[in-house]
Amino acid sequence: MPALGWAGVARPAPVSRGVTYALASDAQPLHRPVMLAESLQFLQVSAGSVYVDGTLGEGGHALGILQQSEPDGLVLGIDRDPRSVEASRERLGHYGNRVMLVHGNYADMRRIADQRGVAAANGILLDLGFSSRQIDLPGYGLSFQRDEPLDMRYDPVGATAADFLNTANETVLADVIFRYGEERRSRAIARAIVNGRPIATTGQLANLVARALGGRRGGRHPATRTFQALRISANQELEHLSAGLAAATELLAPGGRLVVISYHSLEDRLVKEWLDREAATCICPPELPVCVCEHQPRLRSVRRRITRPTDAEQSSNPRSRSARLRVAERI
């Protein structure tokens, strides 16, 4: 595969850095990148190549890519959360012009790359969802572990989850909680929300759902699925994932790898369907006797089975437990 580069940017001087999983400046432990070794291996990270990290977070995976691609691998890192981009800038800034960090949406990665002179990428990583930082630090309103304003947006523009809860009608609320939370009792929860409005905080919502459903469910807080649904809805996560998969497929250079780590079945289903479709030689409806679509596959499956974190990673980082990694290669 030919080496790609930033257009018009001179190759940087070699730098050598140690592993830096230190504490963040605000003394919060950093997000631990999930399946880091597996991601680097599947991305085939090497010197002289260009990588897009579409979900930069705190830069854990990006740091691994920069270290493994020394002396001159390049990383374009994108995140919707401006606070995460700033945290990554502090952590990765010393890599100079080997790294470009952008506040943006990975669904727009082609435009973002194009504007920065990146015509194609040798590897693209999407590590979906939210980071530990966004759960642990105040201000995001993503979790029932802390009572604070019910916000849930990665990018602080547009409607908050509280805005949605306080204005949507009962049917829409039930649909969102059912579709994005796969919550069987969505109607009971929607009714309780409408009767309990206005809702301003995470604690208020968690208590209201717990009262509507009663008790814990298999060790999980009864509001877990409702919170997942509202987060997906507030951030339009599945719409952006569909657009991001399409953009990544177009941005990859021939032979380049796409690695996606998902954390729940709705995401993983979308990823699997996209990879299957892009690897297929025919996408005609099964009832057609002969192929008429002339579909050209753009991706090749690298490993049909999903990759899961090792037992050791799952026990040392419980947040990795639900992770599933899929990988494909651009034809």
Ligand X SMILES: C[S@@+](CC[C@H](N)C(=O)[O-])C[C@H]1O[C@@H](n2cnc3c(N)ncnc32)[C@H](O)[C@@H]1O
DSSP track, 18-71: -------TTSPPPPPPTTHHHHHHHHT--TT-EEEETT-TTSHHHHHHHHHTTT
- Least spacing, CB of residue 261 vs ligand X, in Å: 8
Residue 189 and residue 211: Cα distance in Å, rounded? 9
Smallest gap, in angstroms, from Cβ of residue 66 to ligand X? 12
The site string for ligand X over 49-78 (x = CB under 6 A, - otherwise) reads: -----xx-xxxxx----------------x
* Residue 79 found at the interface with ligand X (CB under 6 A): yes
> Residue with structure tokens 């432990």?
29
Please tell me whether residue 141 binds ligand X under the rule CB under 6 A: no
User: How far is it, in rounded angstroms, from Cα 325 to Cα 316?
Assistant: 18
- Rank residues 130 and 144 by Cβ distance to ligand X and give the closer one: 130
| DSSP class per residue in 126-183 | EE-S--HHHHHSTTS---TTS--B----SSS-S--HHHHHHHS-HHHHHHHHHHHH--
Q: Does 180 bind ligand X (CB under 6 A)?
A: no
Binding of ligand X by 183 (CB under 6 A)? no
Under the binding rule (CB under 6 A), the answer on residue 85 touching ligand X is no
Which of residues 193 and 251 has its CB atom nearest to ligand X in the complex? 251
Residue located via tokens 């809860």: 165
* Binding-site string for ligand X from residue 24 to residue 43, where x marks contact by CB under 6 A and - marks none: -------x-x----------
Here's the x/- map for ligand X, 151-170, by CB under 6 A: it reads as ---x----------------
Q: Does 105 bind ligand X (CB under 6 A)?
A: yes
Strand, helix or coil at 111?
Answer: helix
Nearest residue (CB) to ligand X, 51 versus 130: 130
Residue 152 or 189: which CB sits closer to ligand X?
152
Alpha-carbon separation of residue 256 from 222, 233, 279, 280, 297 (angstroms) = 42, 31, 14, 18, 14
Selected from 6, 42, 51, 130, the binder of ligand X by CB under 6 A is 130
Using the rule CB under 6 A, which residue among 50, 80, 162, 248 binds ligand X? 80
261, 127 Cβ separation under 8 angstroms = yes
* Rounded-to-integer distance, Cα 264 and Cα 321, Å: 10
Minimum distance from residue 58 beta carbon to ligand X (Å): 4
Tell me which residues in 225-264 interact with ligand X (CB under 6 A): 240
Can you give the C-alpha Rg of the chain in angstroms? 21
> Which 258-317 residues touch ligand X, going by CB under 6 A?
none
Phi and psi at 239, nearest 5°, equal: -65, -45
**Contacts with ligand X, residue ranges (CB under 6 A):** 31, 33, 54-55, 57-61, 78-81, 84, 105-107, 127, 129-131, 154, 240
